[in-house]
Structure formats: C-alpha cells, structure tokens
Chains A and B, each alone.
Chain A
Amino acid sequence: MSPKQPPLLPLPATGRRQPPRTVPKQRAARSGSGAVSYWWYRVWRNIRDQPWRSLSIVIAVLVGIAIAIAIIAASNGIEHKINELLQTNSPDESQSLRRAGVNLDDIQAVLSTTRDLLTKLAIGFTAALVGLVTWVNTSQRRRAIGISMQQGQHREEVIVELLGESLILCSIGGILGVVTGNALCAFVNHESPLLPMQPGVGDVLAIFPATTLLAFAVTAVIAFIFSRFVDVAPAL
C-alpha cells in the first residue's frame, strides 16, 4: 500500500453542516472545598446504587465482629470462672489437689494460652470474612471500573472511590457489630449466669481497626490490579 493516503472527495454540502469540533473538554479541578462534596457524592452514589450489596457488606462485618466479640468474651469468661473456682477452694482442698499431682499454675497457663489463641482466631476469622466480602464486592466492579476509566477517570480516582465506599460500609458494620456483640454478651450473662461473658475492652478495640484495615488493604490491592494490569477493553 502506498504510504500516502489517496486523494478523497470533499465532504458533501448538505446545507446543515456545523463547524468542526476539535477541542477536547477540560477536566474540572478536584481541589479546594468542593473536593469533599465531590467525593462524598461519588462514594454515596455507589453505596446507594446497590443497596443490597452495600447492606450485605455491612451485615457481614457486623456478624463477623459480633461473633468475634462473643468468642473472646466466652473465653475470657471461662478463664475467669475457672480461676475463681480454683481460688475459692479451701487451702486443704488446694493441698489435696497438689498432692494428687494437679498443678494449678499449669492450669492457669493453659487457660490463658487458650484464651489468647481464641482471641487471635476470632480476630483473624473476622478479618478474613471482611476481606472475602470486600474481595467479592470489588471484583463485581470490574465492568464499572472499565467504563469509568474509559470515560477519563484516573487510576487514583478509581482507588479513592472504592476505598471511600469500603471505609464507610466497614465503619457502619463495625460500630453495629461492637454494639451487637456486647448486647449478645449481656443477653448470655442474663440467661446463663454460670457462664459469664466478659468482652475485653482491648480485644474489642483491636478487632475494629484490624478488620477495617484488612478490608482497606484488599480493596486497594484489587482496585490497583484492575486499574493497572487490566486493559480498559476487557474490563468493558
């Protein structure tokens, strides 16, 4: 083929032809006081568009954190109760237990280790659940991300949008989860006084940032992968 384009006929004059358009539209500035409301609207819009999906994330976080709090509270309660039983025994009974080869310090160490293990497992379980839900949620966005990028959105904007949504949903689910978990403990305490549920404040405070941070990390990784390593075309 010739390297030069062949001569073409002039465009037909139809009587309604408008001037040629050759200037692209300019992107609006994203700084200043308007930026907060701009991003808030975009994040809120995403949450509102898919109410059932948003609700499912909130419920997953809520259930995960509530169960984790209940597990931690139950293990705390069991440890506390056994310690109490061992300490309220009379000195004679303690002596007889020791003579029988039962080491109370060992029992307390095992209880403490078990409680720590259960606490870590509960936090890990909740974090994994939240991570999984966030992964599924973000994965479903592949097409929307593709369309958004085709319409000129930068990679960072896609990530900010997803992180903002994740932050809001995880925070709502987390707060509700802490409230529900504590209510569950209070209910069990009331119904079954033999098993006191004692949620540790430190453990409860650890669950919330751990799960939220994990959800953040998962969202960020997926958004980065989608926006960086996936072409716009397949995403459509």
Chain B
Amino acid sequence: MRPTLVVRGLTQTFGGNPPFTLSIPWLELFPGELTYIGGPSGSGKSTLIKLLALETRPPAGDLWTLDRHINSLPDHQRDDLRGGGITYIPQGDLGLVDQPPVEIIRRLLFDYEGVDFAEGTRRAEYGLARAKLPPERFYTRVKLLSGGEKARVAIGKAYAAERPICLADEILPALDEETRMDIVDLFQELAEDGFTVVIVAHQPNLRNRFHRVVELDRGQIRSDQRYAPVVRGRPQATP
C-alpha cells in the first residue's frame, strides 16, 4: 500500500535559548491507519502536524502528500492540495465558524468544489449522520453545541468533504473521558473507511485505541509502533 504522507529528513529550527529543532528523518503514514502522535509539551507535535497540514512549507527535507512533492509545488497548487486533500481540525474552535453544521459543510463544498445547495445538503447530512451528531442538532449554530458535538461536526466535515487525509491537533483534552472515547471511536471508523487519520494528543491512556503510536521527544521520534487497537463494541481484532 502506498503511503499518503511521506516525510524524509524534515528539519525545522525555531529560535530561543536553546533553539528547538524538529527533526524527522523518516516517517510514512498510510490510508486506513489511525495514528497517535504524542509526547510531552514542547516535543514538536503541533509543529509536525502543521507541516503535514501544509500550513507552512517545510524549510529543509522533503514532504510528499498524496504523491505530490510539496517542496517543489507552486503556492496555488499547494493551496489546492491542502483544500482537496486534507481536513485539518485545529485545537480550540476546531476550525468551525459560527454557522449551523450543515451550512458549514455546504459552504466548504460550494467554495472548493462548486457543489450546489441540494447536493451539499445531502452530503452534509450524510457526513454528520456518520459522525453520529443528533439530527436535531444539524441546523443548530455551532456556538450552541457542546464540545463533543463540535468534535462530531468536525469529523462529519471530514466524512462529507471526503478529503483523504484528516489531521486533528489536540482536540481531545477539551472533552470529558466518555466523550473522548466516543470521538476516538469515530476516528477509528474514519480510518477504517480508508482515510489517513492522524491525531496529536496527550492522553497516554488512549494509546491502545490507535493503530499506530508515534512518540516525539525534544523534536525527535522516540518510538514508532503499530498495534492492534482496542475497538469498543467489537471483538478485539488480531493483527
């Protein structure tokens, strides 16, 4: 299987005393895989995911996203790849403007793909249903939704938009334990639907729910292991 995200010799240095350097010599992320990127604060987790989300151009090293070499892509094509290939869920407001969930997704689809109102509504409702958002919340403004419901909207966006890569940056800490489990379940399902799902998190107790755990420490990969994840409600799969 071909990886959707490939990192080779990626290095980014930030000023400070001492300066911080993120250095990823080799990393490949695959579709169908739910990856946990963990590590202590300041280990470079968010920096890595922002680079993977194409928010910044990698200063040194190579990055391939969906078989395109990012370093040599012109800005417009990079924007297109970011819009057409990646759903990024940032921490805080999860990248959701204050509109009803269906409208948020409809606009995303209209702005990028030119999807019309009816088709956009259909895809939005499908995505939100897949993310198990209660139907009565489909047309409620986001600011009135709970933290768990907002996370479901963000995952629903990934389902509806069908971008192959979904990246989430520290969205779990804001949720209570039970909701956190539910959201990881949804990410597991998203991965099983063929998406490449990468989550930056700081919840070591959740690591057994992921296919793969990458631990960073002071800008370096300390460990990179793949597991047979625990799946709630189903007999545990064996590798």
A residues lining the B interface (CB < 8 Å): 1-6, 8-14, 16-29, 34, 38, 41-42, 45, 49, 143-144, 147-155, 231-233, 236
**How far apart are A160's CB and chain B's nearest CB, in angstroms?**
12
Interface-facing stretch out of B28-36, B37-45, B144-152: B28-36
Contact with A along B101-125 (1 / 0, CB 8 A): 0000001101111100000000000
Pair B81/A1 contact, Cβ less than 8 Å: no
Contacts of B196 in A (CB 8 A): 21
Pair A12/B108 contact, Cβ less than 8 Å: no
A236–B168 alpha-carbon span in the complex (Å)? 13
Pair A151/B112 contact, Cβ less than 8 Å: yes
Contact with A along B206-239 (1 / 0, CB 8 A): 0000011000000011001111110100100111
Interface size, chain B (Cβ < 8 Å): 64
Q: Given known contacts A1-B25, A28-B113, is B95 in contact with A21 (CB within 8 Å)?
A: no
- Output the nearest chain A residue to B28 by Cβ-Cβ distance: A5
Pair A236/B95 contact, Cβ less than 8 Å: yes
Contacts of A20 in B (CB 8 A): 1, 4, 30-32, 164, 194
Tell me the dominant secondary structure on chain A's binding face: loop
Q: Select one of A6, A9, A147, A232 contacting B239, CB under 8 A.
A: A9
The 8 closest A-B pairs by CB, nearest first: A152-B83, A28-B114, A20-B31, A24-B85, A12-B237, A24-B84, A21-B164, A8-B226
Contacts of A38 in B (CB 8 A): 114
State whether the Cβ of B50 lies closer than 8 Å to any Cβ in chain A.
yes
- Output the nearest chain A residue to B1 by Cβ-Cβ distance: A20
Contacts of B53 in A (CB 8 A): 150
Pair B228/A9 contact, Cβ less than 8 Å: yes
State whether the Cβ of B171 lies closer than 8 Å to any Cβ in chain A.
no
Pair A14/B162 contact, Cβ less than 8 Å: no
Pair B226/A21 contact, Cβ less than 8 Å: no
**How far apart are A226's CB and chain B's nearest CB, in angstroms?**
14
Max chain A CB contacts within 10 Å: which of B4, B79, B108, B164?
B79
Contacts of A26 in B (CB 8 A): 84, 113
Q: Given known contacts A5-B28, A18-B192, A20-B32, is B107 in contact with A233 (CB within 8 Å)?
A: no
